[in-house]
C-alpha cells in the first residue's frame, strides 16, 4: 500500500486493489491430470421435460449432464431413445467409418497428398448420432469437425477425398480449404473457415423455412471457443425472438486450438446456460454418449418441428487429438488428459453397449474396423486417379476466374489472360 506518495494505495484511497483475471488451464505439458472436479452425473437420473415445455423448465439440465449409458454399459432413464439393434449397429458402423476416414486422411496429409486435415477423434457421436436423429433433408450448417454428418448422410467418400486433394474431381474446384465440403443434395451447407458464421445463417434459414410454411428445420454446430464470436450471440437472439425452428449445437471439446474453454467463458457458466439466458430451451449432454446425443437431438428436432422453437445443446466432450495437422498439442496441454477424460470414448461405449445387450461381439467389431479401413482405402485409390496435391491434376487454371459473374468483366478477362501467359512462361511443361 505504501507504493504511492500519499501511502494510500495505487488508487489513492483505502478501497482494495483490483486484480485482473487471466484464465489459465488446469494442466500444462508434463502435469499430472486430475479431472475429479468435473461433475459426472448419474446416467438415467436426469428428468426429461416435455418437448413443448417452457424454456425455463430446462433450467436444471443446463448445469447437469444428460447421460444414458451407464458404467454397466446399459441404457438408463427417461432419455433412453430405445433404438432397435439395427439402428445402434448403423450408428456404430458410421462412427467407426468416420474414425477410419480420419486416420487415413491424416496419414495422407503426412504423405504430402493434401496440405491440411482435421480429425474429429472422440467427438464422432456429436455429429453421427445427431445426424441420425434428424431427417435427411433437414438443413445442416456444420463447422469443420462434423465430417460424420456427411458420412451418415451417405455422401460418397471418394467425393470427400477429391475435395481434400483439391484434384480434378473436386466438385468445389479447389476453391475451398481441404475438408470444407459442401453438398446441396445432402442439405449440407458449405463449411466456412470464418468461425461461427454458420450460426446466424442456420437461424436465418430456419426463419425462412417457417415464413414459407415449410416443414424442414435447421441445425448448426459450433465449437465452444467459437461461441465467443458475436455471430453466435446474434444467432441466439434471433432464434429466441422469432422462435426459429433450429438446433444450436455447441460442441464443447474443451479446447480451441491452444486456448482452453475458459477464454470463451467456460469458467463462469456452462455453454448450455448461455442459451437459457436468451430464453432458449437448453440441454447439456454427455457428448461421448451416442444415445444421449441422439435423444437430445430427437427432443430438440421434435420441439422445432412442432413450432416449439429453438434448442441449444451443449455436447460435453473432449478433443482427443490435435486441432488439425498444423497443430502440436504437446506444446500446450498435458498428454495425460486424453486417457484421464472421465467420459470415455464414444465408439468404445456404444460398442460395449451393443455387446452388453447381446447384439455384438469383439470378433464382429474387428471385422467392422477392417471393413471400414478397406472401404476408405478403396475410396482413396479411386480419388488418387484424379490426382493428389502438387501433381498438377487439378481443375484447369482458368476456372479460377469463372462462376462468379455471369459474364467475365473486362478487368478479370485481362487478369486471366495475363495470369495464363505468365504461367506458361514459368511452367512451360504444364
Ligand atoms: C473468426 C475466426 N477467428 C479465428 C479463427 C482461427 N481459428 C480457427 S479454428 C479456431 C479454434 C476454434 O475452436 P472451437 O470453436 O472450440 O472449435 P474446435 O476446433 O475445438 O472444434 C480458431 C481460433 C478463424 N478461423 N476464424
Ligand atoms: Mg473447441
One domain for residues 317 and 413: no
Percent above pLDDT 70 for the chain: 97
- Give CB contacts under 8 A, 24+ apart, made by 18-26: 23/260, 23/262, 23/263, 23/267, 24/262, 25/260, 25/262, 25/332, 25/333
> Does the Cβ of 320 fall within 6 Å of ligand 1?
no
Percent above pLDDT 90 for the chain: 92
In this structure, is residue 43 part of a structural domain?
A: no
One domain for residues 160 and 187: yes
One domain for residues 91 and 148: yes
* Residue 5: pLDDT over 60: no
One domain for residues 243 and 157: yes
* Residue 6: pLDDT over 60: no
pLDDT of residue 7: 52
Q: pLDDT digits over 141-159, tens only?
A: 999 999 999 999 999 999 9
Top-confidence residue, 428 or 163: 163
pLDDT of residue 9: 58
pLDDT of residue 285: 98
411 contact partners, CB below 8 Å, separation of at least 6? none
Contact 67, 41 (CB under 8 A): yes
pLDDT of residue 2: 46
Top-confidence residue, 404 or 243: 243
Number of compact structural domains in the chain: 2
Instruction: Residue 422: give the domain boundaries.
Output: 400-426
Residue 261 CA: nearest ligand 1 atom is 16
Best residue among 195, 220, 230 to mutate for probing ligand 1's pocket (most ligand atoms within 8 Å of CB) is 195
One domain for residues 407 and 380: no
One domain for residues 303 and 405: no
* Residue 3: pLDDT over 60: no
Q: pLDDT digits over 325-369, tens only?
A: 999 999 999 999 999 999 999 999 999 999 999 999 999 999 999
Per DSSP, the residues of 65-98 read: -B--B-TTS-B-STT-----HHHHHHHHHHHHHH
In this structure, is residue 39 part of a structural domain?
A: no
One domain for residues 216 and 241: yes
Q: pLDDT digits over 284-314, tens only?
A: 999 999 999 999 999 999 999 999 999 999 9
Residue 323 CA: nearest ligand 1 atom is 19
One domain for residues 285 and 413: no
Average pLDDT value for the chain: 96
Residue 144 CA: nearest ligand 1 atom is 21
CA dist., res. 46 & res. 77, Å (int)? 7
| Mean pLDDT, residues 189-199 | 98
* Residue 412: pLDDT over 60: yes
In this structure, is residue 91 part of a structural domain?
A: yes
> Does the Cβ of 303 fall within 6 Å of ligand 1?
no
In this structure, is residue 20 part of a structural domain?
A: no
Best residue among 119, 223, 234 to mutate for probing ligand 1's pocket (most ligand atoms within 8 Å of CB) is 223
> Does the Cβ of 256 fall within 6 Å of ligand 1?
yes
In this structure, is residue 153 part of a structural domain?
A: yes
One domain for residues 355 and 419: no
In this structure, is residue 142 part of a structural domain?
A: yes
One domain for residues 410 and 365: no
CA of 18 to the centre of ligand 2 (A): 31
CATH number, position 107? 3.40.50.970
Amino acid at each position: 500500500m505504501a507504493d504511492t506518495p500519499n501511502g494510500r494505495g495505487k488508487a489513492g484511497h483505502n478501497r482494495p486493489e483490483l486484480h485482473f483475471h487471466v484464465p489459465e488451464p488446469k494442466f500444462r505439458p508434463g502435469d499430472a491430470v486430475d479431472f475429479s472436479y468435473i461433475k459426472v452425473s448419474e446416467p438415467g437420473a436426469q428428468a426429461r421435460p416435455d418437448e413443448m415445455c417452457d424454456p425455463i423448465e430446462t433450467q436444471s439440465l443446463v448445469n447437469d449432464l444428460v447421460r444414458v449409458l451407464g458404467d454397466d454399459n446399459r441404457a438408463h432413464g427417461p432419455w433412453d431413445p430405445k433404438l432397435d439393434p439395427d439402428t445402434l449397429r448403423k450408428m456404430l458402423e458410421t462412427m467407426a467409418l468416420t474414425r477410419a476416414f480420419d486416420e487415413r486422411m491424416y496419414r495422407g496429409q503426412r504423405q504430402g497428398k493434401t496440405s491440411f486435415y482435421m480429425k474429429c477423434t472422440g467427438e464422432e457421436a456429436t455429429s453421427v448420432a445427431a445426424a441420425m436423429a434428424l431427417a435427411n433433408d433437414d438443413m445442416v450448417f456444420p463447422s469443420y469437425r462434423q465430417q460424420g454428418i456427411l458420412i451418415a448422410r451417405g455422401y460418397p467418400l471418394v467425393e470427400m477425398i477429391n475435395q481434400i486433394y483439391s484434384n480434378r474431381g473436386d466438385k468445389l474446384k479447389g476453391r475451398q480449404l481441404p475438408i470444407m465440403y459442401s453438398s446441396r443434395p445432402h442439405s449440407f451447407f458449405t463449411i466456412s473457415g470464418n468461425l461461427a458464421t454458420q450460426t446466424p445463417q442456420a437461424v436465418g434459414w430456419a426463419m425462412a423455412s417457417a415464413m414459407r410454411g415449410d416443414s424442414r428445420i435447421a441445425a448448426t454446430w459450433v465449437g465452444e471457443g467459437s461461441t465467443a464470436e458475436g455471430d453466435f450471440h446474434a444467432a441466439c437472439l434471433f432464434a429466441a425472438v422469432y422462435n426459429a425452428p433450429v438446433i444450436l449445437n455447441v460442441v464443447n471439446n474443451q479446447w480451441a486450438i491452444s486456448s482452453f474453454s475458459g477464454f470463451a467463458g467456460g469458467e463462469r457458466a456452462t455453454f448450455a446456460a448461455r442459451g437459457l439466458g436468451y430464453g432458449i430451451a437448453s440441454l447439456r449432454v454427455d457428448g461421448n454418449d451416442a444415445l444421449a446425443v441422439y435423444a437430445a437431438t430427437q427432443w430438440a428436432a421434435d420441439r422445432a418441428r412442432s413450432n416449439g422453437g429453438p434448442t441449444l445443446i451443449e455436447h460435453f466432450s473432449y478433443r482427443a487429438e490435435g486441432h488439425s495437422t498444423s497443430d502440436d498439442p504437446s506444446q500446450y496441454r498435458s498428454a495425460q488428459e486424453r486417457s484421464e477424460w472421465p467420459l470415455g470414448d464414444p465408439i468404445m461405449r456404444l460398442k460395449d453397449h451393443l455387446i452388453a445387450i447381446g447384439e455384438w461381439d469383439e470378433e464382429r467389431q474387428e471385422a467392422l474396423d477392417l471393413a471400414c479401413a478397406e472401404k476408405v482405402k478403396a475410396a482413396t485409390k479411386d480419388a488418387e486417379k484424379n490426382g493428389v496435391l502438387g501433381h498438377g491434376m487439378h481443375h484447369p487454371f482458368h476456372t479460377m476466374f469463372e462462376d462468379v459473374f455471369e459474364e467475365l468483366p473486362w478487368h478479370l478477362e485481362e487478369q486471366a489472360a495475363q495470369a495464363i501467359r505468365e504461367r506458361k512462361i514459368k511452367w512451360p511443361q504444364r
